[in-house]
């Protein structure tokens, strides 16, 4: 499974590219896009080391494949491209061993996607102190992890249960009105028979008007609140 473009961009953004070896926040010699000794076979990073941009990119893609090949078998369920990418970024940053023991992986394997995304953000400290850079990276990884599972209901795609003709409130109003008409038409028939108007027709008209008003009021509120 290969990392998608969103994953590569995220990792390159937060790793940054440095062509001269340096010590990271944890005091580990690093070069290129966050590459440390052993990230790819034969790579030994130390003081004074320099590489070209082409070497940096080559090492980076080799490391992505190596890390991806090692973490994918740890996943007991098939991840989406974005879930795989977020966990690859995490493993690349904290190491294979730490990722294998992580609550993020355990929860993902258990099918707890939201829980896995939350656990992913816990890796944001260096030497016991919160690193804002790591916190920002974890937040970005979490957003990527959940990208495929976030559903937004918009006004153009209303919840079917909230449509006027399927609303339980409106159906209840219709049923109540019909019941009222059936139960009271005989009671008031005599009282209004002298008006020269058929009682059933009159009561039916009242019910229809009442139901129409309920539906109109319901639709107006739904439009007002963007439902």
Q: List the catalytic residues.
A: 15
Residue 101's contacts (CB-CB under 8 Å, 6 or more residues apart) are: none
**Bridge partners (DSSP) listed for residue 125:** 130
What percent of the residues of the chain are helix, what percent strand, and what percent coil, each to the nearest 5?
65, 5, 30
CA distance 218 to 54: 63
Helix 132-146 to helix 5-15 angle (10° resolution) is: 180
Residue 146's contacts (CB-CB under 8 Å, 6 or more residues apart) are: 113, 114, 117
């Amino acid at each position: 499974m290969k990392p998608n473009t969103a994953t590569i961009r995220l990792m390159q953004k937060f790793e940054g590219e440095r062509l001269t070896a340096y010590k990271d926040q944890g005091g580990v010699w690093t070069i290129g896009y966050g590459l440390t000794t052993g990230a790819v076979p034969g790579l030994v990073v130390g003081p004074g080391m320099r590489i070209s941009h082409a070497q940096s990119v080559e090492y980076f893609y080799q490391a992505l494949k190596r890390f991806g090949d090692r973490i994918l078998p740890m996943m007991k369920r098939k991840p989406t491209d974005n879930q795989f990418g977020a966990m690859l970024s995490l493993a690349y940053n904290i190491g294979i061993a730490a990722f294998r023991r992580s609550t993020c992986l355990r929860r993902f394997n258990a099918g707890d996607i939201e829980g896995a995304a939350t656990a992913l953000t816990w890796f944001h400290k260096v030497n016991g102190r919160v690193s804002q850079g790591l916190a920002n990276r974890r937040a970005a990884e979490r957003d990527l992890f959940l990208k495929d599972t976030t559903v937004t209901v918009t006004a153009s795609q209303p919840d079917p249960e909230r449509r006027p003709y399927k609303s339980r409130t409106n159906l209840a109003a219709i049923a109540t009105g019909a019941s009222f008409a059936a139960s009271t038409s005989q009671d008031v028939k005599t009282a209004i028979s002298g008006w020269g108007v058929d009682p059933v027709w009159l009561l039916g008209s009242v019910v229809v008007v009442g139901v129409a008003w309920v539906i109109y009021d319901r639709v107006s509120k739904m439009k007002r609140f963007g439902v």
